[in-house]
Structure 1
C-alpha cells in the first residue's frame, strides 16, 4: 500500500524546519536592531544645552548672550 507519499519525500520536513528556524532567527535579529535604534540618543550640543538653561530660567539674558557669543566664536 502507498501511505502518504505525495511527491515531497522525507527531506521536505527537514527543509521546512530549517526555513522556520532561519525566519525565527532573522525576526529576533530585526527586533534587537529595532530596540537598539530606539535607544540611541542624540547628544545635545553646547548651544542646545545653553538654550535649555536659558529657557528654564537658570541663566539671565545677559549670561545667555555672553555664553552664546563665546560658543559661536570661530
Structure 2
C-alpha cells in the first residue's frame, strides 16, 4: 500500500481554511480517504496533523492491520 498525504487550500468568501487527507496513491477516486482533517488555520497545521496520522496508519499497516476508509467506519 502506498499512502500519501494531500493538503488543499479551501477558499470561499470569508471561509478560508486548509484541508488534509490520507489516501492510497493508486486510488483513482479520492472521494473516500482513510483519514482527513478539515478547518485547519494554516498549511503547516494541516501538514503536521496529517503527517502524525500518516505515521500511525503506517505503523498499523506494518503490524498487518486492515485500514478502514472514512465512509466504511461510519
TM-score computed with the length of structure 2 as normaliser? 0.31
Structure with greater strand share of residues: 2
Larger RCO (alpha carbons 8 Å, 6+ apart):
2
Structure whose alpha-carbon radius of gyration is higher: 1
TM-score computed with the length of structure 1 as normaliser? 0.31
